[in-house]
Amino acid sequence: MREGREQLVLDVIHRRNTSYLPSVVNFSNRKKKMECAAYVGIQEEEEFDEYLGNHMRFTTTLDDVPSHDWDDKERVAMALKAGRAYVDPKDGFLTDLWGMKFDPHGTSYFNYSHPLAEAAEDPAVLKNFHAPRLNPEILDEIFAPCQQDQAHYQGKMLVLVSGYNGIWEKTYDMMGMENFMLTLMEEPEIVEQIMDIVTDYKVEIARETVKRGFQVGHHGDDLGTQVSTFFSEDMFVRYFKPRFRRIFDVYHEAGIPVQMHSCGKITPLIPHLIDIGLDILEPCQPVMDLGFLKREYGKDLIFYGGIDTQDLLAFRSPEEVYEETLRTIDLMGKDGGYICGPAQEIMNNVPPANVAALVRAIRRSRGEE
């Protein structure tokens, strides 16, 4: 194992010279990850992480276990014991404290309920709605899995407290996408009230993340589709930018850089994200022009990902994966400022042989093959 992987990521983020570029290869679910491990003759998850050469790892608070660690029995048990999740006896779904349901036997993190679907029709729905309580006496328990990972991977990987299901995602998850969009146009004050509740919660989580010594802040909101943003630039500036700023400011006031995940073609929004202090864009998805991103924003942003998951990894040959991975690393890694990896998690339709080709190419870029 190479020592100092955690420090290497920080050096790249802070624009220091490094001997090679860090990398991250994540999976959409543990079952797929272990399938790919078995393909290369590995049975243990940590050994496979070493094979992948991962330099970063996401961890989740107990409040986010139902949505992101539903397939980790140990973490689910911790969340249930702490009362930060429960199993609905009617359908067996794992349910978080926001009232959203997740399939504990599923392979994706999409929720199956919209607890605020009637918020625009019934004022009582919103009146009786509250974010999960973050009382001081429960915070140690909520952050227990995060700090376990922080201690376990110290020096080996940079650990980030996941900020996925951010302000816009959590709001539309609770309302339902169609209800969210219609209400935003017809009664925006209702949507803003919900987003403020989510933002207040996220700000408190950010403050605790800082207090507990994590070195990079994280936020996640999918702002784009394959062809455009979900909403206009003006709408982003009005409804989302000031709320994102509140979270980013918590980290920046502590001298901590911010990484943000957003799927999709979000090029028009990137200057606004830079304006509120974004440091690391996760991922740079190939539906955008990667060369343009590097030329236009390479001085402002560290880029993460970029190796095509949807077509290249899923449907092309291992030889094509190998060559295109090297090309992407060469393009995005010029003059540093790049964390190698797929544009999205490895999905169920990606052949294990292509994951192996991806890893070989990353190793080749470091001079290890």
Q: What is the pLDDT of residue 56?
A: 97
pLDDT-derived band at 109, boundaries 50, 70, 90 = confident
Strand 94-96 vs strand 101-102: parallel, antiparallel, or unpaired? antiparallel
What are the backbone dihedrals phi and psi of residue 341, each rounded to the nearest 5 degrees, phi first? 160, 170
In the predicted model, is pLDDT for residue 274 greater than 80?
yes
Segment 148-162 mean pLDDT: 96
In the predicted model, is pLDDT for residue 75 greater than 90?
yes
Q: What is the pLDDT of residue 267?
A: 98
d(CA 66, CA 101): 8
Give CA 109 to chain center in angstroms. 12
Q: What is the pLDDT of residue 345?
A: 94
In the predicted model, is pLDDT for residue 2 greater than 50?
no
Segment 57-62 mean pLDDT: 98
CB of 339 within 8 A of CB of 305? yes
- When the pLDDT of each residue in the chain is averaged and rounded to a whole number, the result is 96
Q: What is the pLDDT of residue 1?
A: 39
pLDDT-derived band at 108, boundaries 50, 70, 90 = confident
d(CA 235, CA 229): 11
> pLDDT, tens digit, for every residue of 324-362?
999 999 999 999 999 999 999 999 999 999 999 999 999
Q: Which residues make Cβ contacts (< 8 Å) with residue 242, sequence separation at least 6? A: none
CB of 170 within 8 A of CB of 98? yes
Set out the domains of the chain in order of their start, with CATH numbers: 5-365 (3.20.20.210)
pLDDT-derived band at 143, boundaries 50, 70, 90 = very high
Q: What is the pLDDT of residue 270?
A: 99
CB of 304 within 8 A of CB of 344? no
Segment 164-168 mean pLDDT: 96
CB of 321 within 8 A of CB of 361? yes
> pLDDT, tens digit, for every residue of 20-49?
999 999 999 999 999 999 999 999 999 999
d(CA 173, CA 99): 10
> pLDDT, tens digit, for every residue of 233-270?
999 999 999 999 999 999 999 999 999 999 999 999 99
Work out the number of other CB atoms within 10 angstroms of the CB of residue 56: 23
